[in-house]
DNA sequence: GAGCACTGC
């Protein structure tokens, strides 16, 4: 092996016949955990990878090939199946428990089935939450196949836009966000007798809030002598001490997983340029390893991936070794291009996948032999005082490092090259900071208040900064959703706002739209604003992409431009082709259409009149201001040197990618959707407004703004 | 005249 790398613990396989995963040998976490019940310690070298994987890429045919006998045999091979008797005893005995199961233990697919076979759930339903919709869907399909039943009957799933359950459903997989939505209608979650929160270590805002919801529901149902609620917290690896403390020292059970050993190499020296180090490592390995070894390289974003891809292609022309197929993989990539990653390459060709952390947990790529881990991740941070967002490249956590390395051991033993030193790795945080302490909280708080909780006393494992809570409550007060910001109660408007699965600023826009006779347009625009970027701009086709965008541009600003794109998409007969020609993201536009339908259904339920403002866009912009009035900026100075200042006093510029960037004279006042902090502070998705509109739309806020300015 | 990771309702 190249001397650039120091090898860590390669020969740690135990002599007792247990071929343990290299990742688990570094047994920090096993030692750290004080186990109440060490139930299972089963390891296998079976040729079949456990099917309990939580992050399967969608594949409709995946489950059809196996006969019921095959399925049963596969189930029996799973570590969790081997210890089912003791596990079930523990589940019956304890009302709350934490279950730590490594990848491949089968916990997600088997435990709900085992519980149901024993009818432990009684008259209620078993809910199993997942952070991602693909996971909820594919696991439900798998479990239905294993139980030899149709999905939607005994086994079902519920995700946004899709509810495949029936009154008969006893095992229900759903996204954590979906269960949270259900909690606003029924905070005691009465229809469930057992709730399993899976992938708890990911610490999404929804899971963190659900912890509190289910804890309170369990307590209250107990006190009111209602049907009891059993809780199981499941996770791969996690900060068990914090979780145990939170759940009153409940028992912890450890289940061993089943993955293949991955040998980890660390860089001996600190690397100053991880991109360069990645390219060097790729070609060193390329020259020395067989062509059928696929590489997976973790990078931080689209631009970086495109640059590295370009460099690889240039160097490959002169390098020795087999032919190379490079595949980019990031969320913003159109779906058709993403699929290249799963396509089989001709024999003798090496596949090199350049991915963001989408490949860390969200999708699984088979046959990866080598992982090259740059050790960095792009993370969104949010500045509460200015409201600006920032994307920063930072070192990833140890947990992420293990997760990335593990991607090489899914189907066979693998190798992982870390482009940072072992000392660097050890110095890192074990986990990343939970999302709830670093994001805006207005929508979460509105949901909590709607679910009858008190925001100030609600139990959370990690409390968000008090300033963030205060600012978010103030915003809800200003939007008219709550009556006061110390002991908040929902107003009539707030009750309606909480019914929409979108940012409260956006639901306020919709609820104001009837007044401006523009609900038709507002629905489209809010749907687009709630989706991801509609424009696809590859670095090397920037000019073409810009030209294509011209025909949608509106001099009024980005909001009307987005509306033009959306309207044109709805009319286009051949949507996929049309999107390709116009450098637009078909997936995100389709998603926006689905969101619009959902929002429309809620508006109809509220008896709102869907009228159109036609070309009278001033109406629409005033309506936008009803929800976004805290996002105004005013011109300071004149001419090209004109600068804008936000209500919070932050100096901000027009982003060059926006529709208003070249418009002169500069509008005296602007409405922006987001603030982005890079080298400078930029306003994103901006429209021009008349300064007096703010006084018409939000007089109280306008007065306070003026007083502060 | 710059550059946006990933989820979810």
pLDDT in tens, A106-150: 889 999 999 999 999 999 999 999 999 988 999 999 999 999 999
Cα-based distances in Å from A572 to A125, A547, A566, A568, A581: 44, 19, 10, 6, 12
Q: Is the bond preceding residue A230 a cis peptide, omega within 30 degrees?
A: no
Q: Which two tokens stand for residue A156?
A: 């079902």
Sign of CA dihedral A298, A302, A303, A309: positive
pLDDT tens-digit profile of A437-489? 989 999 999 999 999 999 989 999 999 999 899 999 999 999 999 999 888 99
> Which pLDDT score, from 0 to 100, does residue A641 have?
60
Question: Residue closest to B8, CA→C1'?
Answer: A177
* Subset of residues 351-410 in chain A with CB less than 7 angstroms from any atom in strand B: 356-358, 362, 377-380, 391
Q: Using a 7 Å cut-off to protein CB atoms, list the covered nucleotides of chain B.
A: 1-9
| CB distance A134 to A140 below 8 Å | no
CB within 7 A of strand B (chain A, 488-507): 501-502
Report phi then psi at A391, rounded to 5. -110, 120
- Please state whether beta strands A414-418 and A262-267 pair in parallel, antiparallel, or not at all (unpaired): parallel
pLDDT of residue A84: 86
- Residue A704: its pLDDT value, please? 84
- DSSP H helices, A170-301, are 176-185, 205-223, 240-246, 274-288
Is the CB of A338 within 7 Å of strand B? no
Q: What is the pTM of this model?
A: 0.86
CA distances (Å), A509 to each of A105, A512, A525, in order? 47, 5, 10
| Distance, Å, A378 CA → B4 C1' | 10
CA A303 to chain centroid: 21
CA diameter of chain A: 79
Q: Quickly list H helices, A129-203.
A: 133-146, 176-185
Minimum-distance nucleotide, CA of A380 to C1': B5
The confidence score (pLDDT) of residue A17 equals 27
At A65 the pLDDT is 58
Angle between helical axes of A519-529 and A617-628 (0-180°, round to 10): 50
Q: How many helices (H) and strands (E) does chain A have?
A: 28, 22
Q: Which nucleotide is the nearest neighbour of A182, by CA and C1'?
A: B9
Alpha helices in A481-557 (DSSP H): 492-497, 504-512, 519-529, 542-550
What's the DSSP call for residue A334? Answer: -
Segment holding A118, helix H or strand E: none
Positions of chain A with pLDDT under 70: 1-65, 238, 638-642, 707-709
Give yes or no for a contact between A558 and A659, defined as CB atoms under 8 angstroms apart: yes
């Amino acid at each position: 092996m190249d001397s650039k790398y120091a090898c860590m613990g390669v020969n740690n396989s135990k002599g007792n016949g247990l071929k343990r995963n290299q990742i688990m040998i570094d047994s920090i976490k096993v030692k750290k955990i004080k186990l109440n019940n060490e139930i299972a310690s089963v390891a296998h070298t079976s040729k079949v990878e456990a099917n309990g994987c939580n992050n399967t890429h969608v594949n409709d045919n995946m489950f059809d090939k196996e006969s019921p006998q095959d399925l049963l045999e596969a189930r029996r091979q799973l570590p969790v199946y081997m210890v089912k008797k003791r596990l079930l005893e523990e589940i019956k005995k304890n009302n709350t428990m934490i279950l730590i199961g490594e990848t491949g233990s089968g916990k997600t697919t088997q435990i709900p089935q085992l519980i149901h076979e024993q009818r432990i759930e009684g008259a209620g339903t078993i809910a199993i939450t997942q952070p991602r919709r693909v996971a909820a869907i594919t696991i439900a399909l798998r479990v239905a196949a294993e139980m030899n039943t149709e999905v939607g009957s005994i086994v079902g799933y519920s995700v946004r836009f899709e509810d495949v359950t029936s009154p008969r459903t006893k095992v229900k997989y759903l996204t954590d966000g979906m269960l949270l939505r259900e909690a606003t209608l029924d905070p005691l979650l009465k229809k469930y007798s057992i709730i399993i929160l899976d992938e708890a270590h990911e610490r999404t805002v929804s899971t963190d809030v659900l912890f509190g919801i289910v804890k309170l529901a369990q307590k209250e149902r107990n006190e009111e002598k209602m049907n009891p609620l059993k809780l199981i917290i499941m996770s791969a690896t996690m900060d068990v001490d914090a979780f145990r403390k939170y759940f009153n020292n409940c028992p912890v059970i450890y289940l061993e997983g089943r993955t293949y050993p991955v040998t980890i190499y660390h860089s001996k020296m600190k690397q100053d340029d991880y991109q360069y180090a990645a390219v060097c490592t790729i070609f060193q390995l390329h020259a020395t390893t067989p062509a059928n070894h696929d590489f997976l390289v973790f990078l931080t974003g689209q631009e970086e991936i495109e640059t590295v891809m370009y460099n690889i292609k240039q160097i490959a022309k002169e390098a020795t070794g087999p032919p190379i197929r490079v595949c980019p993989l990031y969320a913003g990539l159109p779906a058709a291009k993403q699929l290249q990653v799963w396509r089989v390459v001709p024999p003798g060709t090496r596949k090199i996948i350049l991915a963001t952390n989408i490949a860390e947990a969200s999708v699984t790529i088979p046959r990866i032999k080598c992982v090259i881990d740059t050790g960095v991740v792009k993370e969104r941070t949010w500045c509460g005082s200015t409201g600006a967002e920032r994307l920063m490249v930072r070192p990833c956590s140890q947990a992420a490092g293990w997760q990335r390395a593990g991607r090489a051991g899914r189907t066979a033993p693998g190798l992982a090259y870390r482009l940072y030193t072992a000392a660097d790795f050890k110095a890192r945080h074990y986990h990343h900071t939970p999302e709830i302490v670093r994001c805006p909280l207005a929508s979460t708080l509105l949901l909590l208040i709607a679910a009858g909780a008190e925001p100030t006393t609600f139990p959370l494992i990690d409390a968000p900064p008090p300033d963030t809570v205060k600012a978010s409550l103030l915003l809800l007060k200003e939007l008219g959703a709550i009556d006061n910001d110390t002991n908040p109660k929902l107003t009539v408007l707030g009750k309606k706002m909480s019914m929409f699965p979108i940012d409260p600023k956006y639901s306020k826009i919709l609820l104001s739209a009837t007044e401006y006779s523009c609900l038709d347009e507002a629905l489209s625009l809010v749907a687009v604003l709630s989706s991801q970027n509609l424009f696809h701009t590859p670095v090397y086709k920037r000019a073409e992409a810009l030209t294509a965008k011209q025909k949608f541009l509106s001099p009024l600003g980005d909001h009307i431009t987005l509306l033009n794109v959306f309207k044109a998409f709805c009319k286009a007969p051949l949507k996929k082709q049309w999107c390709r020609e116009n450098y637009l993201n078909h997936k995100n536009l389709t998603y926006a259409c689905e969101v619009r339908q959902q929002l429309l259904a809620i508006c109809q339920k509220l008896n709102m009149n869907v009228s159109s403002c036609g070309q009278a866009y001033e109406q629409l912009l005033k309506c936008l201001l009803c929800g976004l009035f805290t996002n105004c900026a005013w011109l300071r100075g004149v001419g090209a040197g004109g600068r804008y200042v936000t209500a919070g006093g932050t100096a901000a510029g027009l982003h060059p990618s926006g529709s208003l960037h070249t418009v002169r004279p500069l509008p005296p006042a602007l409405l922006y959707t987001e603030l982005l902090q890079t080298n400078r502070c930029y306003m994103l998705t901006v429209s021009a407004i008349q300064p007096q509109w703010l006084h018409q739309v939000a007089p109280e806020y306008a007065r306070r703004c003026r007083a502060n300015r």
